[in-house]
Amino acid sequence: MNGVTELGYLGIGVSDLDAWRRYATQIVGMQLVDDSAGAEFYLRMDQWHHRIAVHKDSSDDLLYMGWRVAGPEELYSMKKRLEEAGVKVRRASDEEADERKVLGLLKLEDPAGNPTEIFFAPRVDAHLPFHPGRPLFGKFITGDQGLGHCIIRQMDAEKAYEFYRLLGLTGYVEYRLPLPNGMVAQPWFMHCNPRQHSLAFGFGPAPKRINHLLIEYSSLDDLGQTHDLIRDQGVEVALQLGKHANDHALTFYAANPSKWLFEFAWGARPALNQQEHYVSDIFGHGNESAGFGVDLPLRERR
C-alpha cells in the first residue's frame, strides 16, 4: 500500500505574530522566511522552503496538517482509496497548490474535522543553506521522519484510527495510565516512517485541535540550551524533562505564544515492528503548569 510517507508541514493561526517571530527563532532556533505570499511568514527547519506556515488568525490553533506522498501517481491512488472508503476529498486547484509550495494537493477533513492535506513535491530550497534563528550545535531531525509529531484532538479514537490507517499510518494504544478518578487513559500513537509516532490522540477532551508539536534536535546540547532559554525567560512548562517509554526520547513540554505546547526532544529511537504498551514513562515528565491537556500521571509514583 502506497500511503503517506511523513508529516510534511503544518499551517497554524496565531494572534501575536511578533511574539511568534521571536519565540520560533530566538528560543526554538527555527529560521524566519518572509519571502512570498501564501502566509504571514514561514518557519524553516531544513532545506524545505518551510515546515510551518504562520497565518494571522485569532484561533491560536492548528489550521491544517500536510501529509506527504511520493508523487502524482500516489496522490491519484490516495484520492481513489479515500473516495472508495466514503471520505469526502477534493483535488485542490493549481493556485491552492502554489500557496502551499507543492505541485499537487488533496484537501479533506479527518473524523474530528481537522483540516487535512495530502501533497507531493514540496519546494526544496537546495540552494539556500539552513540558517538557524539562534546558533545550534546540530540540526533539526527531519528528512524521512518528517518535521516531528502532533497530538491532535479526536472525539472518537476508533474512528480516527480507521481514518489514519486509510492514509497509511499504523500503530495502536501504547499506554494505559490509571487516572486518579479511577478511569484509565489510553492514548493512541501512529507512524508511517522511522519516527516512532507522527500522530497521537486519545488524551481526552481538548479546547484546541492541537495539543503539541514535537520537534527533535540532533544535539543534546541544543535541547539543553532551549531548556535554559525557556527557564530563564519564565516560559510556562507543562511537563518537566523526562524520557518516554515508547520513543525513548528525552523531552520537555513548554507553552508557545498561542498557549499550546511545543515538545522539545532529543535522542528518540525508531519505531518498532511490533506493538508494545506501557504503564509509565521511564523517568521524569512531572506535571508542572496545569491546563495544557497533558495533566497525566505519565510516570508511576515510586
Smallest separation, CB 293 to Fe ion (Å): 11
Q: Which is nearer to Fe ion, 130 or 278 (CB)?
A: 278
Give the residue with the Cβ less far from ligand MBD, 97 or 152.
152
Instruction: Tell me: does residue 214 bind Fe ion (CB under 5 A).
Output: yes
Q: Nearer Cβ to ligand MBD, position 74 or 247? A: 247
Residue 292 to residues 31, 297, 301: CA-CA distances in angstroms? 26, 14, 21
Distance of alpha carbon 291 from alpha carbon 295, whole angstroms: 7
d(Cα 105, Cα 76) in Å, to the nearest integer? 10
Q: How far is CA 269 from CA 183, 245, 246, 263, 265, in A?
A: 30, 10, 9, 16, 11
Residue 247 engages Fe ion in binding (rule: CB under 5 A) = no
Which residue ranges make up the site for ligand MBD (CB under 6 A)? 151, 214, 244, 246-247, 263, 294
Distance CA 182, CA 16 (A): 40
**For residues 67 and 8, is the Cβ–Cβ distance under 8 A?**
yes
For the bound state, the minimum distance from the C-beta of residue 73 to ligand MBD, rounded and expressed in Å, comes to 33
Shortest Å, Cβ 246 to ligand MBD: 5
* CB 186 to Fe ion: min, Å: 15
**Residue 153 touches which of ligand MBD, Fe ion, none (CB < 5 to 8 A by kind)?**
none
| Shortest separation between residue 54's beta carbon and ligand MBD, angstroms | 23
Closest CA to 118 of 252, 4, 227, 281: 4
Q: Of the two residues 104 and 202, which places its CB atom closer to ligand MBD in the complex?
A: 202
Cell of 302: 515510586
CA–CA separation, 224 and 72 (whole Å): 41
Distance (Å) of CA 123 to CA 115, 128, 267: 21, 12, 28
Tell me: does residue 281 bind Fe ion (CB under 5 A).
Answer: no
Q: Which is nearer to ligand MBD, 60 or 247 (CB)?
A: 247
Looking at the chain, the number of H-run helices and the number of E-run strands are 5, 19
- Distance in angstroms (rounded) separating the CA atoms of residues 131 and 292: 31
216 contacts which partner out of ligand MBD, Fe ion, none, CB within 5 to 8 A by kind?
none
- Output 193 or 246, the one with its CB closest to ligand MBD: 246
| Binds 24: which of ligand MBD, Fe ion, none (CB < 5-8 Å by kind) | none
Q: Does 263 bind Fe ion (CB under 5 A)?
A: yes
Closest-by-Cβ residue to ligand MBD is 244
Cα dihedral angle (30, 31, 35, 39), rounded to 10 degrees? 10
**Shorter beta-carbon distance to Fe ion: residue 216 or 263:** 263
* Residue type at position 144: D
Residues 100-139, one symbol each (x = binds Fe ion by CB under 5 A, - = not), give: ----------------------------------------
| Residue 246 binds which entry of ligand MBD, Fe ion, none, CB below 5-8 Å type-dependent | ligand MBD
> Concatenated DSSP letters for 59-110?
T-EEEEEEEE-SSHHHHHHHHHHHHHTT--EEEPPHHHHHHTT-SEEEEEE-
Of the candidates 163, 149, 145, 117, the one whose C-alpha atom is nearest the C-alpha of residue 251 is: 149
3-state secondary structure of 246: coil
Stretch that binds Fe ion, among 121-129, 187-195, 210-218, 219-227 (CB under 5 A): 210-218
Q: Which is nearer to ligand MBD, 151 or 255 (CB)?
A: 151
Q: How far is the CB of 211 from Fe ion (least distance, A)?
A: 8
Residues that bind Fe ion (CB under 5 A): 214, 263
